[in-house]
Amino acid sequence: MTAVELPQESVPDRPRAEGPASEASVSGPAPSPASAFARRNGRVRLVRLVSCVLLLLLVAVVAVRHRSVLAEGFGHLATARWPWLLAAACATCLTWVAAACTRQGAVVQRLPLRRLLATQFAAGAANHLLPTGLGASAVNLRFMAVCGLPLARSSAALALYLLAESVGRVALLGALLLAFPGALRLGTLLPEGAVGPLLITVGAVPVVAAGVLAVVPRLRGAVESFLRTALGEARSVHARPARALALWSGALAFPALQAAALVLVGKSLALGVPVGHMAVAYLAATVAVALVPTPGGVGSVEAALVVALVAAGGPAAVATAVVLAFRLLTVWLPLLPGTLTLVALVRMRVI
């Protein structure tokens, strides 16, 4: 018998899969969303941890750089009368309440009260670690962003707060100068021949700003947009009596409580200057150094306060002791707990 060969059926080749799916099958399974989220969350935690460590190291560096001021300040506190110092400490604590009141008055949205108060305490520490105003502004902007405010509205609220605080400080100084016209001898505060250049500088700043806005249209558009947002936010705030009352009462109470703390420290060290004159000296000194870009005004505020208290009639040695004790009580003692509060708020994602 002859074998009959049957034709073999040709099996078509299977087409090779091309594209991302084949690449994924070759390189392995694609990462799941859960693992990607875990990696991203780990990076965020690492950044937060590094930021917290850097904040604490910055506090240590600032303290070491000013260790002589700290030592001298503690020496003066040891000789002070403690009832007056306790009252000054209470006035210092109330400044954070006044700041929280002003911050709430600058926005229409209701902010969480406890977190707002803790944020102001932490912002005070940040303000002493960065140039004047930048630390507190950054902390409060972040806090309002976490609370759900858009950047435009939170920036407008920050500008309204700064404007109200400046107006309140200058208005309080003007009222005290009217009440105590001889409280300050300005001739000792300003060097001879400095008034003319100072007035020229003050007049040149708005002229230069207007020129820059006229030359750069894109910057002018951004400024106009921000001003429209800020004016709208200010109208919304002042349309609510409770918000307007919180804004302006806090703006007046904040510098008044700071001045009261200095007066109480002066009383504790028997500074022979009237109460009203000490308050005028404090407000005049802080207004004078408002544009000095030093962290928390460290250095510039001390010098200006000593000069202002001497101009108000106080002995130079006692005035220096009062200023060092005052700055120790209001800046250096709250610095470490304020920084720890800032670290805790960062880790809790409040800011």
- Percent of the chain that is helix, strand, coil (3-state, to 5): 75, 0, 25
The owner of tokens 């001497």 is: 310
Q: Does residue 279 register a pLDDT over 80? A: yes
According to the model, what pLDDT value does residue 25 have?
46
Distance CA 136, CA 126 (A): 6
Phi first, then psi: give them for residue 178, nearest 5 degrees: -70, -35
For 238-248, what is the mean pLDDT? 95
Contact yes or no for 94/120 (Cβ under 8 A): no
pLDDT of res. 224: 85
Whether 47 and 54 have beta carbons less than 8 Å apart is answered as no
Instruction: Kindly state the average pLDDT of the residues 166-178.
Output: 93
Residue 334 has pLDDT above 80, yes or no: yes
Task: Using CA atoms of 274, 276, 279, 283 in order, give the dihedral in degrees to the nearest 10.
Answer: -130
Categorize the per-residue pLDDT at 171 as very low, low, confident or very high, splitting at 50, 70 and 90.
Answer: very high
Q: How far apart are CA 341 and CA 334, in angstroms?
A: 10
User: Quick one: tokens of 40?
Assistant: 């991203």
For the ranges 247-256, 284-293, 311-320, which has the lowest average pLDDT? 284-293
Higher pLDDT, 67 or 310: 310
Spell out the domain ranges in the chain: 67-200+212-347
Work out the pLDDT band at 21, boundaries 50, 70, 90: very low
Phi, psi of 72 (to 5 degrees): -70, -35
As a whole number of angstroms, the distance between CA 64 and CA 71 comes to 11
Q: What is the pLDDT of residues 114-165, one digit of tens each?
A: 999 999 999 988 887 776 568 888 899 999 999 999 998 999 999 999 999 9
CA distances from 79 to 7, 47, 318 (A): 115, 44, 12
* pLDDT-derived band at 250, boundaries 50, 70, 90: very high
**Do residues 288 and 304 lie in contact, with contact meaning Cβ atoms separated by under 8 Å?**
yes
The stretch 272-292 carries a mean pLDDT of 84
Higher-pLDDT residue of 61 and 24 is 61
Q: Quick one: tokens of 239?
A: 């349309």
Q: How far apart are CA 348 and CA 118, in angstroms?
A: 12
Q: What are phi and psi of 337, to 5 degrees?
A: -60, -35
Rounding to the nearest 10 degrees, give the CA dihedral for residues 34, 38, 39, 40: 100
Q: Read off φ and ψ for residue 28, nearest 5 degrees.
A: 115, 170
Sign of the C-alpha dihedral computed for residues 68, 297, 197 and 281 taken in this order: negative
pLDDT digits (tens, 9 = 90+) for 181-235: 877 765 555 555 555 666 677 677 778 888 887 888 888 888 888 888 889 999 9
How many percent of the chain have pLDDT more than 90?
36
**Helices and strands of the chain, counted as H and E runs:** 15, 0
This prediction's pTM = 0.75
- The single residue listed with the structure tokens 């003319």 is 196
